[in-house]
Copies of this chain bind each other. A is one copy, B any other.
Protein backbone atom coordinates (compact mmCIF):
# COMPACT_ATOMS: atom_id res chain seq x y z
CA UNK A 1 0.00 0.00 0.00
CA UNK A 2 1.28 3.50 -0.82
CA UNK A 3 2.19 5.35 2.36
CA UNK A 4 1.60 8.99 3.25
CA UNK A 5 4.61 10.57 4.96
CA UNK A 6 3.61 11.26 8.56
CA UNK A 7 4.54 14.88 9.20
CA UNK A 8 3.54 17.72 11.47
CA UNK A 9 2.98 21.16 9.96
CA UNK A 10 5.76 23.69 10.46
CA UNK A 11 4.93 26.29 13.09
CA UNK A 12 3.05 23.69 15.14
CA UNK A 13 4.69 22.49 18.36
CA UNK A 14 4.56 18.75 18.95
CA UNK A 15 6.63 17.58 21.91
CA UNK A 16 8.16 14.25 22.80
CA UNK A 17 6.81 12.68 26.02
CA UNK A 18 9.54 13.95 28.38
CA UNK A 19 9.17 17.56 27.24
CA UNK A 20 5.39 17.26 27.18
CA UNK A 21 5.46 16.37 30.89
CA UNK A 22 7.46 19.54 31.57
CA UNK A 23 4.95 21.58 29.58
CA UNK A 24 2.07 19.97 31.51
CA UNK A 25 3.83 20.81 34.77
CA UNK A 26 4.10 24.45 33.66
CA UNK A 27 0.40 24.54 32.80
CA UNK A 28 -0.49 22.95 36.16
CA UNK A 29 1.58 25.53 38.05
CA UNK A 30 -0.05 28.37 36.10
CA UNK A 31 -3.51 26.97 36.86
CA UNK A 32 -2.68 26.68 40.57
CA UNK A 33 -1.32 30.19 40.62
CA UNK A 34 -4.29 31.72 38.80
CA UNK A 35 -6.80 29.80 40.94
CA UNK A 36 -5.16 30.93 44.18
CA UNK A 37 -6.03 34.52 43.22
CA UNK A 38 -9.67 33.64 42.63
CA UNK A 39 -9.57 33.42 38.84
CA UNK A 40 -12.01 30.84 37.50
CA UNK A 41 -11.19 28.67 34.47
CA UNK A 42 -12.97 29.29 31.16
CA UNK A 43 -12.92 27.32 27.95
CA UNK A 44 -14.30 28.94 24.81
CA UNK A 45 -14.50 27.45 21.31
CA UNK A 46 -11.47 27.49 19.02
CA UNK A 47 -13.82 28.25 16.10
CA UNK A 48 -16.00 31.35 16.14
CA UNK A 49 -18.15 33.10 13.57
CA UNK A 50 -15.79 35.31 11.52
CA UNK A 51 -18.20 38.21 11.93
CA UNK A 52 -17.93 37.94 15.72
CA UNK A 53 -14.20 37.32 15.87
CA UNK A 54 -13.36 40.12 13.44
CA UNK A 55 -15.83 42.67 14.82
CA UNK A 56 -12.94 45.02 15.49
CA UNK A 57 -11.63 44.37 11.99
CA UNK A 58 -8.64 45.56 10.06
CA UNK A 59 -4.94 45.40 10.58
CA UNK A 60 -2.35 42.68 10.55
CA UNK A 61 -4.62 40.33 12.45
CA UNK A 62 -7.04 39.86 9.58
CA UNK A 63 -4.28 38.80 7.21
CA UNK A 64 -2.92 36.19 9.62
CA UNK A 65 -6.24 34.67 10.56
CA UNK A 66 -7.35 31.15 9.64
CA UNK A 67 -10.73 31.84 8.04
CA UNK A 68 -12.84 29.39 6.07
CA UNK A 69 -16.35 28.49 5.00
CA UNK A 70 -18.28 25.42 6.17
CA UNK A 71 -21.67 25.17 4.56
CA UNK A 72 -23.08 28.71 4.72
CA UNK A 73 -20.96 29.68 7.70
CA UNK A 74 -18.04 32.09 7.57
CA UNK A 75 -15.78 30.77 10.31
CA UNK A 76 -12.44 31.69 11.84
CA UNK A 77 -10.03 30.28 14.42
CA UNK A 78 -9.41 32.51 17.44
CA UNK A 79 -6.16 34.48 17.23
CA UNK A 80 -6.10 35.45 20.90
CA UNK A 81 -8.11 34.82 24.07
CA UNK A 82 -9.18 38.44 24.58
CA UNK A 83 -11.72 38.71 21.78
CA UNK A 84 -13.42 35.42 22.85
CA UNK A 85 -13.49 36.79 26.43
CA UNK A 86 -15.14 39.99 25.22
CA UNK A 87 -17.71 37.91 23.35
CA UNK A 88 -18.25 35.66 26.36
CA UNK A 89 -18.74 38.50 28.82
CA UNK A 90 -21.07 40.38 26.47
CA UNK A 91 -23.09 37.25 25.63
CA UNK A 92 -23.35 35.96 29.22
CA UNK A 93 -23.45 39.35 30.95
CA UNK A 94 -26.67 38.64 32.83
CA UNK A 95 -25.37 35.32 34.16
CA UNK A 96 -22.02 36.62 35.41
CA UNK A 97 -21.10 38.52 38.55
CA UNK A 98 -18.72 41.47 38.37
CA UNK A 99 -15.86 41.86 38.98
CA UNK A 100 -15.54 38.74 36.85
CA UNK A 101 -12.16 37.05 37.18
CA UNK A 102 -11.25 34.38 34.68
CA UNK A 103 -8.21 32.54 33.49
CA UNK A 104 -7.91 30.67 30.23
CA UNK A 105 -5.04 28.56 28.94
CA UNK A 106 -5.77 27.70 25.35
CA UNK A 107 -4.46 27.40 21.84
CA UNK A 108 -4.72 30.33 19.45
CA UNK A 109 -3.93 30.50 15.73
CA UNK A 110 -2.01 32.95 13.57
CA UNK A 111 -0.93 32.07 10.06
CA UNK A 112 2.31 34.00 10.31
CA UNK A 113 5.24 33.38 8.03
CA UNK A 114 6.89 30.30 9.52
CA UNK A 115 10.31 30.90 11.04
CA UNK A 116 12.35 29.50 13.88
CA UNK A 117 10.64 30.16 17.20
CA UNK A 118 7.47 31.52 15.56
CA UNK A 119 4.36 29.42 16.01
CA UNK A 120 1.12 29.30 14.07
CA UNK A 121 -0.63 27.36 16.82
CA UNK A 122 0.39 28.40 20.31
CA UNK A 123 -0.85 28.44 23.87
CA UNK A 124 -1.71 31.66 25.56
CA UNK A 125 -2.27 31.77 29.30
CA UNK A 126 -4.42 34.79 30.16
CA UNK A 127 -5.99 36.23 33.27
CA UNK A 128 -8.39 39.16 33.31
CA UNK A 129 -10.53 40.94 35.88
CA UNK A 130 -13.56 42.61 34.31
CA UNK A 131 -15.60 45.25 36.09
CA UNK A 132 -19.11 46.43 35.34
CA UNK A 133 -18.81 50.18 34.74
CA UNK A 134 -15.99 50.58 37.29
CA UNK A 135 -13.03 48.59 38.52
CA UNK A 136 -11.03 49.48 41.61
CA UNK A 137 -7.33 50.31 41.25
CA UNK A 138 -6.48 47.55 43.75
CA UNK A 139 -7.09 45.06 40.93
CA UNK A 140 -4.22 46.70 39.04
CA UNK A 141 -2.11 46.67 42.20
CA UNK A 142 -2.65 42.94 42.62
CA UNK A 143 -1.33 41.91 39.18
CA UNK A 144 2.39 42.13 40.17
CA UNK A 145 1.61 39.73 43.03
CA UNK A 146 0.14 37.22 40.55
CA UNK A 147 3.15 37.57 38.24
CA UNK A 148 5.51 37.16 41.18
CA UNK A 149 3.64 34.06 42.33
CA UNK A 150 3.80 32.52 38.83
CA UNK A 151 7.53 32.95 38.43
CA UNK A 152 8.31 31.78 41.95
CA UNK A 153 6.30 28.61 41.32
CA UNK A 154 8.22 28.07 38.08
CA UNK A 155 11.48 28.38 40.03
CA UNK A 156 12.57 31.82 38.82
CA UNK A 157 13.73 34.51 41.26
CA UNK A 158 15.81 36.65 38.85
CA UNK A 159 12.90 38.38 37.12
CA UNK A 160 11.66 41.95 37.09
CA UNK A 161 8.15 43.23 36.67
CA UNK A 162 8.28 46.59 34.90
CA UNK A 163 5.32 48.85 35.35
CA UNK A 164 4.15 52.11 33.89
CA UNK A 165 0.85 53.96 33.73
CA UNK A 166 -0.65 55.25 30.50
CA UNK A 167 -2.32 58.15 32.32
CA UNK A 168 1.11 59.34 33.43
CA UNK A 169 2.32 59.28 29.83
CA UNK A 170 -0.81 60.87 28.38
CA UNK A 171 -0.78 63.52 31.14
CA UNK A 172 2.88 64.27 30.53
CA UNK A 173 2.33 64.69 26.80
CA UNK A 174 -0.68 66.91 27.48
CA UNK A 175 1.20 69.19 29.90
CA UNK A 176 3.88 69.63 27.24
CA UNK A 177 1.43 70.27 24.40
CA UNK A 178 2.56 67.06 22.66
CA UNK A 179 -0.66 65.05 22.78
CA UNK A 180 -1.01 64.98 19.00
CA UNK A 181 2.46 63.52 18.63
CA UNK A 182 2.08 61.07 21.54
CA UNK A 183 1.89 58.03 19.27
CA UNK A 184 5.01 58.95 17.32
CA UNK A 185 6.91 59.83 20.50
CA UNK A 186 6.03 56.49 22.12
CA UNK A 187 7.20 54.62 19.03
CA UNK A 188 10.51 56.50 19.11
CA UNK A 189 10.99 55.97 22.87
CA UNK A 190 10.19 52.27 22.48
CA UNK A 191 13.56 51.92 20.69
CA UNK A 192 15.49 53.24 23.70
CA UNK A 193 16.82 49.81 24.72
CA UNK A 194 17.88 49.04 21.15
CA UNK A 195 19.41 52.26 19.83
CA UNK A 196 20.25 54.24 22.98
CA UNK A 197 19.26 57.67 24.33
CA UNK A 198 21.17 59.86 21.90
CA UNK A 199 19.67 58.18 18.82
CA UNK A 200 16.18 58.48 20.31
CA UNK A 201 16.73 62.20 20.98
CA UNK A 202 17.84 62.70 17.36
CA UNK A 203 14.83 60.74 16.15
CA UNK A 204 12.49 62.92 18.22
CA UNK A 205 14.01 66.03 16.65
CA UNK A 206 14.48 64.80 13.07
CA UNK A 207 11.66 62.28 12.58
CA UNK A 208 8.98 63.47 15.00
CA UNK A 209 9.94 67.10 14.23
CA UNK A 210 10.06 68.24 17.86
CA UNK A 211 11.85 71.32 19.09
CA UNK A 212 15.12 70.32 20.78
CA UNK A 213 13.90 71.68 24.14
CA UNK A 214 10.72 69.60 23.92
CA UNK A 215 12.70 66.52 22.97
CA UNK A 216 14.88 67.24 26.00
CA UNK A 217 11.77 67.27 28.22
CA UNK A 218 10.80 63.85 26.92
CA UNK A 219 14.31 62.46 27.40
CA UNK A 220 14.48 63.84 30.96
CA UNK A 221 11.13 62.25 31.81
CA UNK A 222 12.03 58.87 30.37
CA UNK A 223 15.37 58.91 32.20
CA UNK A 224 13.67 59.00 35.61
CA UNK A 225 14.83 55.90 37.47
CA UNK A 226 16.04 54.65 40.83
CA UNK A 227 14.27 52.97 43.71
CA UNK A 228 10.48 53.06 43.72
CA UNK A 229 10.58 55.90 46.26
CA UNK A 230 13.05 57.88 44.16
CA UNK A 231 10.97 57.48 41.01
CA UNK A 232 7.76 58.48 42.78
CA UNK A 233 9.52 61.52 44.29
CA UNK A 234 10.78 62.58 40.86
CA UNK A 235 7.28 62.21 39.40
CA UNK A 236 5.80 64.30 42.22
CA UNK A 237 7.63 67.29 40.76
CA UNK A 238 5.24 67.17 37.76
CA UNK A 239 2.10 67.12 39.97
CA UNK A 240 -0.47 69.84 39.57
CA UNK A 241 0.09 70.50 35.87
CA UNK A 242 -2.34 67.99 34.40
CA UNK A 243 -5.29 66.17 36.00
CA UNK A 244 -4.73 62.94 34.02
CA UNK A 245 -1.08 62.90 35.06
CA UNK A 246 -2.04 63.35 38.72
CA UNK A 247 -4.56 60.51 38.46
CA UNK A 248 -1.91 58.26 36.91
CA UNK A 249 0.55 59.16 39.64
CA UNK A 250 -1.99 58.31 42.36
CA UNK A 251 -2.65 54.97 40.67
CA UNK A 252 1.04 54.22 40.39
CA UNK A 253 1.47 55.10 44.09
CA UNK A 254 -1.32 52.65 44.96
CA UNK A 255 0.37 49.91 42.92
CA UNK A 256 3.81 50.58 44.43
CA UNK A 257 2.44 51.20 47.93
CA UNK A 258 0.83 47.77 48.18
CA UNK A 259 3.76 45.74 46.84
CA UNK A 260 5.15 44.90 50.28
CA UNK A 261 1.76 43.79 51.63
CA UNK A 262 1.27 41.61 48.52
CA UNK A 263 4.67 40.04 49.20
CA UNK A 264 6.37 41.36 46.04
CA UNK A 265 10.05 42.05 46.80
CA UNK A 266 11.34 45.42 45.65
CA UNK A 267 14.07 43.72 43.56
CA UNK A 268 11.38 42.04 41.42
CA UNK A 269 9.71 45.32 40.56
CA UNK A 270 10.59 48.56 38.81
CA UNK A 271 8.70 51.56 37.51
CA UNK A 272 9.79 52.02 33.89
CA UNK A 273 8.41 55.14 32.20
CA UNK A 274 9.51 53.93 28.75
CA UNK A 275 6.97 51.10 28.61
CA UNK A 276 3.77 51.81 26.65
CA UNK A 277 2.50 48.41 25.30
CA UNK A 278 0.78 49.47 22.10
CA UNK A 279 -1.10 52.62 21.41
CA UNK A 280 -4.84 52.25 21.41
CA UNK A 281 -5.87 49.63 23.94
CA UNK A 282 -4.37 50.15 27.39
CA UNK A 283 -5.48 53.12 29.49
CA UNK A 284 -3.91 52.69 32.96
CA UNK A 285 -1.23 50.47 34.48
CA UNK A 286 0.83 48.48 31.97
CA UNK A 287 3.10 45.54 32.78
CA UNK A 288 6.07 43.73 31.27
CA UNK A 289 8.13 40.97 32.84
CA UNK A 290 11.76 40.33 32.03
CA UNK A 291 13.97 37.41 33.00
CA UNK A 292 16.98 39.39 34.23
CA UNK A 293 19.57 36.89 33.00
CA UNK A 294 17.84 36.57 29.64
CA UNK A 295 16.69 40.03 28.55
CA UNK A 296 17.01 38.88 24.93
CA UNK A 297 13.82 36.82 25.36
CA UNK A 298 11.89 40.05 25.80
CA UNK A 299 8.82 40.32 27.98
CA UNK A 300 7.44 36.91 28.97
CA UNK A 301 4.32 38.20 30.73
CA UNK A 302 2.65 41.44 29.70
CA UNK A 303 -0.62 43.26 29.91
CA UNK A 304 -2.40 46.21 31.37
CA UNK A 305 -5.55 48.04 32.25
CA UNK A 306 -8.12 48.82 29.56
CA UNK A 307 -11.38 50.77 29.72
CA UNK A 308 -13.58 48.97 27.28
CA UNK A 309 -13.36 45.22 26.80
CA UNK A 310 -16.37 44.59 24.62
CA UNK A 311 -17.20 47.81 22.82
CA UNK A 312 -17.82 45.96 19.55
CA UNK A 313 -20.53 43.83 21.15
CA UNK A 314 -22.22 45.99 23.78
CA UNK A 315 -22.80 49.56 24.93
CA UNK A 316 -21.92 48.54 28.47
CA UNK A 317 -18.67 49.93 29.77
CA UNK A 318 -16.61 46.91 30.84
CA UNK A 319 -13.19 48.01 32.09
CA UNK A 320 -10.62 45.42 32.95
CA UNK A 321 -7.05 44.53 33.66
CA UNK A 322 -5.23 41.46 32.42
CA UNK A 323 -1.95 39.82 31.60
CA UNK A 324 -0.95 37.19 29.07
CA UNK A 325 1.86 34.67 28.77
CA UNK A 326 2.82 33.35 25.34
CA UNK A 327 3.33 29.89 26.76
CA UNK A 328 4.43 27.99 23.64
CA UNK A 329 7.08 30.52 22.71
CA UNK A 330 8.23 30.79 26.34
CA UNK A 331 8.57 27.00 26.55
CA UNK A 332 10.40 26.90 23.23
CA UNK A 333 12.92 29.54 24.31
CA UNK A 334 13.47 27.88 27.71
CA UNK A 335 14.06 24.58 25.97
CA UNK A 336 16.41 26.07 23.34
CA UNK A 337 18.47 27.79 26.03
CA UNK A 338 18.68 24.66 28.18
CA UNK A 339 16.75 26.30 31.03
CA UNK A 340 14.23 23.50 31.60
CA UNK A 341 15.13 21.50 34.68
CA UNK A 342 16.15 17.93 33.90
CA UNK A 343 15.44 16.98 37.51
CA UNK A 344 11.71 17.14 36.74
CA UNK A 345 10.05 13.73 36.31
CA UNK A 346 10.09 12.93 32.57
CA UNK A 347 9.13 9.25 32.71
CA UNK A 348 5.54 8.12 32.05
CA UNK A 349 5.52 6.34 35.42
CA UNK A 350 7.18 6.29 38.83
CA UNK A 351 7.65 2.54 38.87
CA UNK A 352 7.87 -0.10 36.17
CA UNK A 353 6.62 -3.41 37.51
CA UNK A 354 8.23 -6.46 35.91
CA UNK A 355 6.51 -9.80 36.53
CA UNK A 356 8.99 -12.71 36.39
CA UNK A 357 6.47 -15.56 36.78
CA UNK A 358 3.94 -17.25 34.53
CA UNK A 359 1.02 -16.49 36.87
CA UNK A 360 0.62 -12.72 36.86
CA UNK A 361 -1.99 -12.32 39.58
CA UNK A 362 0.48 -11.41 42.37
CA UNK A 363 2.18 -8.85 40.13
CA UNK A 364 -1.16 -7.43 38.98
CA UNK A 365 -2.32 -7.08 42.58
CA UNK A 366 0.99 -5.46 43.56
CA UNK A 367 0.60 -2.89 40.76
CA UNK A 368 -2.93 -2.14 41.97
CA UNK A 369 -1.67 -1.67 45.54
CA UNK A 370 1.12 0.71 44.50
CA UNK A 371 -1.42 2.72 42.46
CA UNK A 372 -3.73 2.96 45.46
CA UNK A 373 -0.77 4.47 47.30
CA UNK A 374 -0.81 7.28 44.72
CA UNK A 375 2.00 6.08 42.44
CA UNK A 376 2.03 6.00 38.66
CA UNK A 377 2.74 2.36 37.86
CA UNK A 378 3.26 0.65 34.54
CA UNK A 379 2.86 -3.09 34.41
CA UNK A 380 5.26 -4.50 31.83
CA UNK A 381 4.15 -7.94 30.67
CA UNK A 382 5.76 -8.23 27.24
CA UNK A 383 7.51 -11.55 26.68
CA UNK A 384 11.08 -10.28 26.41
CA UNK A 385 14.47 -11.24 27.79
CA UNK A 386 15.49 -9.62 31.09
CA UNK A 387 18.06 -7.45 29.34
CA UNK A 388 15.46 -6.08 26.93
CA UNK A 389 13.15 -5.27 29.84
CA UNK A 390 15.87 -3.36 31.67
CA UNK A 391 16.82 -1.55 28.49
CA UNK A 392 13.17 -0.41 28.18
CA UNK A 393 13.27 0.80 31.78
CA UNK A 394 16.41 2.81 31.00
CA UNK A 395 14.97 4.30 27.85
CA UNK A 396 11.74 5.53 29.45
CA UNK A 397 13.85 6.91 32.31
CA UNK A 398 11.74 5.37 35.06
CA UNK A 399 13.25 6.03 38.52
CA UNK A 400 12.29 2.62 39.99
CA UNK A 401 11.78 -0.90 38.69
CA UNK A 402 9.89 -3.44 40.78
CA UNK A 403 10.51 -7.18 40.28
CA UNK A 404 8.05 -9.89 41.17
CA UNK A 405 9.47 -13.42 40.97
CA UNK A 406 8.88 -16.70 42.82
CA UNK A 407 10.96 -15.51 45.81
CA UNK A 408 9.04 -12.27 46.18
CA UNK A 409 5.69 -14.05 45.98
CA UNK A 410 6.76 -16.60 48.60
CA UNK A 411 8.08 -13.90 50.95
CA UNK A 412 5.17 -11.55 50.15
CA UNK A 413 7.49 -8.68 49.24
CA UNK A 414 8.57 -6.66 46.21
CA UNK A 415 12.12 -6.18 44.96
CA UNK A 416 12.55 -2.46 44.37
CA UNK A 417 15.49 -1.20 42.34
CA UNK A 418 16.50 2.45 42.39
CA UNK A 419 17.57 2.92 38.76
CA UNK A 420 19.88 5.82 39.54
CA UNK A 421 21.84 4.33 42.44
CA UNK A 422 21.42 0.73 41.29
CA UNK A 423 20.50 -0.21 44.87
CA UNK A 424 17.96 -3.03 45.15
CA UNK A 425 15.91 -3.93 48.25
CA UNK A 426 13.18 -6.42 49.13
CA UNK A 427 10.32 -4.62 50.86
CA UNK A 428 6.67 -5.23 51.72
CA UNK A 429 4.41 -3.38 49.24
CA UNK A 430 3.52 -0.62 51.71
CA UNK A 431 7.16 0.18 52.43
CA UNK A 432 8.04 -0.03 48.75
CA UNK A 433 5.31 2.51 47.99
CA UNK A 434 6.58 4.86 50.71
CA UNK A 435 10.18 4.62 49.47
CA UNK A 436 9.21 5.37 45.87
CA UNK A 437 6.81 8.11 46.88
CA UNK A 438 9.46 9.98 48.86
CA UNK A 439 11.70 10.11 45.78
CA UNK A 440 8.84 11.09 43.48
CA UNK A 441 7.90 13.99 45.73
CA UNK A 442 11.44 15.32 45.56
CA UNK A 443 11.11 15.39 41.76
CA UNK A 444 7.72 17.10 41.88
CA UNK A 445 9.16 19.76 44.16
CA UNK A 446 11.92 20.55 41.66
CA UNK A 447 11.55 23.90 39.89
CA UNK A 448 10.56 23.77 36.21
CA UNK A 449 13.09 26.41 35.23
CA UNK A 450 16.78 26.35 36.11
CA UNK A 451 18.33 29.71 36.87
Contact = CB atoms under 8 A, between A and B. Distances in A.
12 contacts: A7-B52, A8-B45, A9-B75, A37-B371, A38-B348, A38-B378, A39-B348, A70-B111, A99-B380, A134-B382, A136-B381, A258-B364
A295 interface: no
A41 B68 contact: no
B20 A55 contact: no
Interface stretch (A84-92, A211-219, A335-343): A84-92
Contacts of A314: 3, 6
Contacts of A120: 47
A4 interface: yes
Contacts of A44: 8, 14
Interface in A335-373: 348-349, 352, 360-362, 364-365, 368, 371
Given A312-B1, A371-B37, A395-B97, A111 B71 contact: yes
Closest 7 CB pairs of A and B: A38-B378, A68-B68, A40-B348, A38-B349, A138-B381, A261-B364, A6-B90
A387 B401 CA distance: 60
B4 A312 contact: yes
B315 A3 contact: yes
A136 B382 contact: yes
A93 to B, nearest CB: 9
Contacts of A51: 4
Contacts of A96: 16-17
Interface stretch (A101-109, A157-165, A268-276, A282-290): A101-109
A46 B43 contact: no
Contacts of A49: 7, 9
A36 B371 contact: yes
A150 to B, nearest CB: 13
A262 B364 contact: yes
A432 interface: no
B371 A121 contact: no
Contacts of A121: 45-47
Contacts of A223: none
A420 interface: no
Given A3-B315, A5-B52, 13 more contacts: A3-B314, A4-B313, A5-B313, A6-B87, A6-B88, A8-B44, A8-B45, A17-B42, A24-B41, A68-B69, A70-B111, A102-B348, A261-B364
A311 B102 contact: no
B376 A35 contact: yes
Contacts of A15: 43
Interface string A52-68: 10010000000000101
A90 B5 CA distance: 9
A131 interface: yes
Contacts of A250: none
A115 to B, nearest CB: 14
